[in-house]
Chains A and B, each alone.
Chain A
């Protein structure tokens, strides 16, 4: 098997891993949260069971739902899975990173959000419109922050290709101040983009401050399963992005068996650490008021922008 062939196979394996492991991450977070709240909690594999159950159920559609409502789960899942396939997980050198760079990855996630918001508006319920309005408003503030923090990393790496960026991060010998700013901004954005506490509560269904759940209230059966799965993939995507860009140590640079297996273990350990951190954060924090979210997001944006300025002032030419 030629080298490029091996790389493609590993790339596909990596994409499949992201898709299949995503519910596990959700399970781990749920379990941690339950333990922190002195509950025994559902088993870690519960999200898989939920998905299976939903896939087996019949889907219910509103009478005036259009084709947009029906296609949204498929679009959402496809674009999110595609975005997840360009992020290096256990191997730096990904052929698919050439197809879509980090800007295209962000745009794929934006496309998913665009369709989801349209689905929220489709039936004409107040909740759907409310969710769409809030999601688009807040993501309009989160997206520049995310792009800015990605740009800080790509300015250092002289590339927007995720493989090259991870490679560059891997060979940084000390922590640069601009990278610290970018990391802080990306962490804040990741929490907001995935609808976690303190921005949004993923386990609420009828609350006047909900954002993401308001858009998908009308979904059921396999449609709901795809949407839930897609948002789990998105969470794992952000976790992997943060790990690969900021703490890439251990990731394999060559497609040999031993480094790849070691990288897998490293990646899994780091994801679990992030999951525990998120669970602690969600248990310790209360949701902030809806109109404090813009302040939160503009803080993230300012941090990322500061990172960029710091990069220019301190690091260019140094």
Chain B
């Protein structure tokens, strides 16, 4: 049976496919190509959003596609979980499509064509939608690989740049390693079910060993794609190398598709009755370490897009803290609290898609205006780009978890879940969850510091370069692309009570429990996740109170106050302040570098060059570099060891003909022995 929601979802995919097929045909007209591809993407996003909204309310629907191998047709399926992630995809794809109309204009002007982008951007969106809708392992992997490969070609869009090629290679490598692990997880389930379809896998009986194997393979595979520490090293490079509309999609949705894959495999296919108690603990630990590492690394970046990429690592960590708590509570027989944790995680998933997408679009606008990603050369853009500044500020407040925007709601829900820990009997878990909550509090406060830095250095103060001083506001398409998520950030922040009942069908499907049983929803004003005397939050009333109070003060003071005088900044009687006297991005984060120097291990290069005499200093050099600790301490050694083993083995290739004959002979002998047995 096909219902309207699945039909909408399939038409969203068809729109992407059409865009991908159309794009090469009209490559000779870049303006037309740019407009049609972008708007088709936006249309696909709108369709996906509609599919998600209907799907969250509707019953499930299944469809078999007439393509694929003869004995292995492709199955598509829209249930609450896929509907929620369709909604997440759509809610960002729509604004990014609109934004791309303006953004690609500059790329066309620079590169002359957008052939590569025109083909792979729709394919990328198609892959993500297909993964979410897949109903068998085969379809899932095919779309997963479409998503990975298309995004590889998008990351290497500016392939003239060597750093981009390196970032692309690392990304491809990690994406395939992740794909291999996920394939392994599906193989385990296939071995139990004997069939590729998710229906069979769901009903299969798993031994505890197999379930654990599937969990570990899925956790590492999807964790690698989601950028969980320490598997995140590809993420900052790939996100900063990609064009900004692509980074918005990669960070905003592709990481969420990995979260989706994990939830599909572990919550849906393996099922919560198979959970071992330590699974949730592992996810919690991974989430907490990602949250802290991500934001600490983000604070030390001065490349705008690397900062945002590391902040994505942090937010994936926050989502995983919610999922980990849900797994822990589900495994210990507290389904209602698990529902709350899952809602917190899902809420943060859609929130992060919105504000991180908006921030990457803002970064693209800033790069468009100043031609640089280096925050040290920006400043004062709030005067030159007032609209972009407002949108980025909204995103910064949201991502810092401050009311009245959406980031606060999901952090609040996560804290509320953590505070229900006394219901746990296992002491280790009961101590681990408050620890995660404190790490979440620390990460939230550090995020506020990080985004004050981003906004303060990029948009405020005086321009640090001529490009920044002559920056210009972006066009209407790009502004509209940023305005839509800004609006959703406010709506999701003020009206969580309308949104939570909608996404509640996901935990209903996975945990078979509902908050509705424990809460009497009083009305749309009050958010009372467990019960009204336990905790409540009324965002509309708070916003209302704020507005009333602010208006009152403004009216009292402004109406009768003296006029405001403008003058130059007081510089203690010296020459006027110049831009080089300002705090820079590096000096802003210097205290944190010092406090957490144990975690950063900065490499300092100091040197003094002397002139003719040791007392005459010619020049002093001071350079600090903070690299990714995991890359230096984990990846490079592993790489070196692999290289060393390969070097040893390479000698075996340099033997003569007789050695090769001996190899062949011994191989055949071994194979024969094996066959005989």
| Residues of A in contact with B (beta carbons under 8 Å apart) | 55-68, 70, 74-75, 77-79, 81-82, 85, 98-101, 103-104, 107-108, 110-111, 113-114, 117-118, 120-126, 128-130, 132-134, 136-137, 139-144, 147-148, 151, 154-155, 158-161, 164, 218, 221-222, 226, 290-291, 294, 301, 305, 308-309, 312-313, 316
Contact = CB atoms under 8 A, between A and B. Distances in A.
Given A78-B546, A136-B452, 13 more contacts: A59-B564, A66-B382, A101-B536, A103-B412, A103-B416, A125-B569, A125-B577, A126-B583, A129-B583, A129-B588, A140-B445, A154-B419, A312-B434
B562 A82 contact: no
| In the complex, the 5 A-B pairs of residues with the closest C-beta atoms, listed nearest first | A129-B583, A121-B456, A124-B461, A136-B449, A58-B562
B460 interface: yes
Contacts of B453: 133, 136
Interface in B543-598: 545-546, 549-550, 553-554, 557, 561-570, 577, 579, 581-583, 587-592, 594-595
Given A59-B564, A63-B566, A66-B382, A158 B549 contact: no
Contact of B561 (A55, A62, A142): A55
Nearest to B415: A103
Interface of B: 379-380, 382-383, 393, 397, 400-403, 408, 412, 415-416, 418-419, 421-422, 427, 430-431, 434-435, 437-438, 441-442, 444-446, 448-449, 452-453, 455-457, 460-462, 526, 532-538, 541-542, 545-546, 549-550, 553-554, 557, 561-570, 577, 579, 581-583, 587-592, 594-595
30 contacts: A58-B563, A63-B567, A63-B568, A65-B566, A66-B383, A68-B382, A78-B546, A79-B546, A82-B542, A99-B541, A104-B403, A104-B408, A104-B412, A108-B542, A121-B457, A123-B460, A124-B379, A124-B582, A126-B582, A133-B583, A141-B442, A143-B442, A151-B415, A151-B434, A155-B419, A164-B533, A294-B595, A301-B438, A305-B435, A305-B438
A195 B589 CA distance: 20
Contacts of A305: 434-435, 438
Question: Which interface residue of A59, A132, A133, A222 has the most chain B CB atoms within 10 A?
Answer: A133
Contact of B592 (A70, A137, A148): A137
Nearest to B418: A151
A156 to B, nearest CB: 10
A151 B455 contact: no
Contacts of B412: 103-104, 107
A65 B577 CA distance: 14
A100 B525 CA distance: 12
Given A58-B564, A160-B534, A226-B553, A125 B452 contact: no
Given A129-B583, A312-B422, A140 B442 contact: yes
A101 B567 contact: no
B442 A144 contact: yes
A62 B550 contact: no
A74 B427 contact: no
A163 B102 CA distance: 52
A4 B499 CA distance: 29
A137 B569 contact: no
